[in-house]
Amino acid sequence: MTAEQAQTRSLRQERWLLRYVTPQWAALSLGSLAMVLRAGVLALVPWPLKFIIDSVIGHKPIPSYLAALLPSAQTHRIGLLGALCVATLILGLADALLNYVGSRLYLDAGQRLVYALRTELFAHLQRLSLDFHRRHRGGDLMSRLSGDVQKIQDLITAVGGDLIQHALVIVIIAAIMFRVDWRYALVVLGTIPLLFIIIRIYTKLLRKAIRQVRRHEGDLWSIAQEAFGSVQLIQAYGREPYEESRFAAGAKKIFDASAGANDLQAQFSPVLTLAVAAATALIAWYGAVRVLDGRITAGELIVFLTYFRSLTAPTRRIAKTVRIIGRASVAVERIADYLFESSTIKEPAHALLPQSVTGRIDFEAVSFGYLPGPNILEDVTLQLVPGKRVALVGPTGAGKSTIASLISRFYDPVKGRVLLDGRDLRTLQIAFVRRQVALVLQDPVIFHATVWENISYGREGAGRADAIRAAVAVGVDEIIRRLPGGYDYVISERGQTLSGGQRQCISIARAMLSAAPIVILDEPSSSLDAETEHRLMEAIDRLTANRTALIIAHRLRTVIAADEILVLEEGRIVERGRHHRLIEEGGVYARLWTKLSGEADDASLPIHMLSHRLEGEAAE
Ligand SMILES: Nc1ncnc2c1ncn2[C@@H]1O[C@H](COP(=O)(O)OP(=O)(O)O)[C@@H](O)[C@H]1O
Ligand SMILES: [Mg+2]
C-alpha cells in the first residue's frame, strides 16, 4: 500500500464510522452536555466544605456573592451551616442525576449504533460473492460481527462518557486551583503525571501477562474440544491418561502464567495507594506552609486536598480510555475491511428483468478458473434445453460442480459467455438469474426447523400446504410422513438427525417448490444405498419433468436415461451423446461404465425403473 492509499483509506474509515455516529447526534450531544455539567458539579463539590471551615468554624466573612445568595443565613452561623450542608447534598444529587442521564444516553446511542452497524454488516457479508466466503472462515466473520462491533460501542461510551468528562474535570479543577494559588496548584498538578506513569507501567505489564494467560487458555480449550470431539477414539485406544496429561500440562501453563499476572495485579493497588499517600503528604505539608504564610485559608487547603483526590480517579480512567481507543481502532479497521469488500459478481447498471424465461442455457466457449489459479474449465460449449435431461459425468475434480456454479452466476467466466434464453447472464439482474435455478446439492443444506419449513424455504411466502404439495409431487410424501411428527418434525442442526436419503428428499421437494425452470442436481445420489437411490431417482424424474435439467453424477446408472451425456475431463468436454452411442464408441465413458457396472452387484442395480426408457430407446 502506498502512503497515498493509506491516507485515503484512513480518511475513508473515519467517514464510514461517521455515517453511523451522525444519526445518534441528538443523544450524543445531550449526553455530552450532561457530562460537561457533571464536570462542573464535581469541581464545586469541595467548596461548601471550605466555607464550613473558614466561615462557620473560622471567622472569615463569607464573600459578598455568596452572601447575596443567602440573605437570611448571613447573620447566623447555624443558618449558614445548614445552607452549606444542603448545598453539599444538592451537589451530590446533581452529580448522581447527571451521571445517570449522561451514561444512559451514551449507552443507548452506542447500542443503536451497534444495532445498525451489525445488521448492515451482516446483510453486506451475506451478499458477498462465494469466493469471498471461501476465503474467510465463519469464525472470523462471527468475531467481527460480535466482538469488533462491540468494541466500537465501548469506544463511544469511553470517549463520550469518560474521556470528555474526565478531561474536563481536570481542566476545570486545574483552572480553579490556579486562580486560588498558582504555586500550590503547580505542586498538586505536578504529582499527577507521576501517578499516570505508574498506572501506565503497571497496566502495560499486566496486559502482557494477561495476554499470555489468555493464549494458554485458548490452547487449553482447543485441547479439551479436540478430546471431547474424539472421545470415542480416545476410549477405543485407551488414550485417556495421555489426554489427561496433555490437559494437565496445558492447565499448568495457565497456572504459571497466572502467578505472574496475579503478582502484578496484587501489587498494583498497594503501590498506587503508597504513591497517593506520598503525594498527599507532600501536598498537605506544602499546603500547611501556605496557610501558615497566610497565602491561603484552611478551607482552601481542604479544597486542594479534595481536588487532588478527585484528580486521581480521572487519571486512572483516562489511562483506561487510551487503551480502549487503541483496541477500538483495530476493530474499526477490521470491520472496514469487510464493509468495503465489494462482491466480485457485479449487478449490471441496467439489469434486464425479462417477463418470462423458457430456461434455455448456453455455454459459449467458456473458460474459467478460481482466481488466483489455473483455468479449471477450458472452452466448454454446451446447451441445456427445457424438457431435456443432460447428465454430466467425469472424475472428481474435473470441474462438474464448477459448471453448476456458473449457471447460477456464483462466478463469472474468464472467457466466453453463459446465456439464459440467449441473454448473457451478466446483463440480467443477479437475483433474477438465481430465481430461475433450483439447486440440489450432494450434501443438502438443512436448517434447524421443521421439515415443512425446510421445504418451503424454496420459495418466499410458501406455506405448509405448498410444502406438502411439493413433497407429494416428487413422491417423497410417504418417506416424510414416516418421521415422528411428519412434516412438523423438527430437524436438528445441519440435519444430523436425518439420513442422507431423507435430507436429499427434502432438498428435492424444496427444489420442486421453487418452480424454477432450471434444475441442477449435483451428485444427488452419491453415498446412498440402492433402495434409497431408487426412490430418489423417481423423485428426480418427477422433479425434472418438463424442465431444463442438469444432473451431475458419478454413479453411472443415474445417467443412463439422460437425453444427453457430457463427459468432462480436466475441464474439457471430451465426449457427448447418448448412453448407447457412447458405449459403442468405446471411449472414456465406455471404460468408466465397464468399470462401474463390473463393481456393482446385479441385485443393487435399480435398472428396472430405467429399463422402460432403455427398451424404448433400443426400439427407436
Ligand atoms: N472455490 C474454489 N477455489 C479454488 N479452487 C476450487 C474451488 N472450487 C473447486 N476448485 C477446484 O476446481 C477443480 C474442479 O472442482 P469441481 O468443479 O468441484 O470438481 P467436480 O465437481 O468435478 O469434482 C478442482 O481442482 C478443485 O480443487
Ligand atoms: Mg463436485
Q: Are residues 423 and 450 in the same domain?
A: no
Residue matched to cell numbers 460501542: 153
Same domain, 505 and 557: no
Average pLDDT over residues 104-121: 91
Neighbour count for residue 362 (Cβ, 10 Å) = 19
**Strand, helix or coil for residue 573:** strand
Based on the fold, state whether residues 365 and 508 are members of the same structural domain.
no
Query: How far away, in angstroms, is 370 Cα from ligand 2 center?
Result: 14
- CA–centroid distance, 480 to ligand 2, in Å, is 27
Whether residue 389 lies inside any domain: the answer is: yes
Atom of ligand 1 nearest to the CA of 522: 21
- Nearest-CA residue for atom 25 of ligand 1: 397
The residue whose C-alpha atom lies closest to atom 10 belonging to ligand 1 is 370
- 432/446 same-domain check: no
pLDDT tens per residue, range 215-265:
888 888 888 888 887 888 888 888 999 999 999 999 999 999 889 888 888
Per-residue burial over 449-459, b = 16 or more CB atoms within 10 Å of its CB, e = otherwise: ebbbbbbbbbb
Last residue of a domain, one of 154, 180, 206: 180
Do 176 and 106 share a structural domain?
yes
Average pLDDT, stretch 72-95?
Answer: 84
* pLDDT tens-digit series, residues 381-440: 999 999 999 999 988 899 999 999 999 999 999 999 999 999 999 999 999 999 999 988
Q: Is residue 192 part of a domain?
A: no
Which of 125, 155, 180 terminates a domain? The answer is 180
**Domain range for residue 87?**
20-180
- 465 with 545, same domain? no
Does residue 323 form part of some domain? no
364 and 405 housed in the same domain:
yes
Choose the residue to mutate in 134, 135, 345, 376 for probing ligand 1, maximizing ligand atoms within 8 Å of C-beta: 376
Compute the average pLDDT of residues 38-67. Answer: 86
In a domain, 124, yes or no: yes
**Closest ligand to the CA of 131:** 1
Mutational test site, ligand 1, from 370, 442, 551, max ligand atoms within 8 Å of CB: 370
Q: Using the 3D structure, point to which of 484, 515, 546 is the last residue of a domain.
A: 515
Q: How many CA atoms lie within 13 A of 127 on its CB side?
A: 16
Exposure class string for 513-551: b at 16+ Cβ within 10 A, else e: bbebbbbbbbbbbbebeeebbbbbbebbbebbeebbbbb
Q: Do 42 and 150 belong to one domain? A: yes
Shared domain check, 369 and 413: yes
- Residue (of 580, 160, 569, 544) closest to 359 by Cα position: 544
Q: Is the dihedral of CA 298, 304, 307, 308 positive or negative?
A: negative
Q: Both 93 and 105 in a single domain? A: yes
In which residue are the cell numbers 426447523 written?
Answer: 449
Judgement on whether residues 84 and 156 belong to the same structural domain of the protein: yes
Q: Which residues approach ligand 1 with their CB closer than 6 A?
A: 134, 370, 373, 376, 394, 396-402
Buried b (16+ CB within 10 A) or exposed e, 386-408: bebbbbbbbeeebbbbbbbbbbb
518 close to 548: Cβ distance less than 8 angstroms: yes
**Number of independent structural domains in the chain:** 3
Asked, for residue 281, whether it belongs to a domain, the answer is: no
Supply the CATH number for residue 392's domain: 3.40.50.300
pLDDT tens digits along 188-201 = 999 988 888 888 88
Q: What are phi and psi of 297, to 5 degrees?
A: -90, 170
Predicted TM-score (pTM) of the model is 0.72
- Asked whether residue 280 is domain-assigned, the answer is no
Q: Which ligand is nearest to the CA of 567?
A: 1
Same domain, 496 and 368: no
Nearest bound ligand to CA 411? 1
Out of 5-19, 74-88, 122-136, 391-405, the most confident range is: 391-405
Q: Is pLDDT at 332 greater than 50 in this prediction?
A: yes
Q: Lowest-confidence range among 124-128, 285-289, 616-620? A: 616-620
Q: Rounded to the nearest 5 degrees, what angle is found at the Cα of 389, between the Cα atoms of 384 and 392? A: 80
List of residues 6+ apart from 31 with CB closer than 8 A: 101, 102, 103, 104, 105, 106, 109, 160, 161
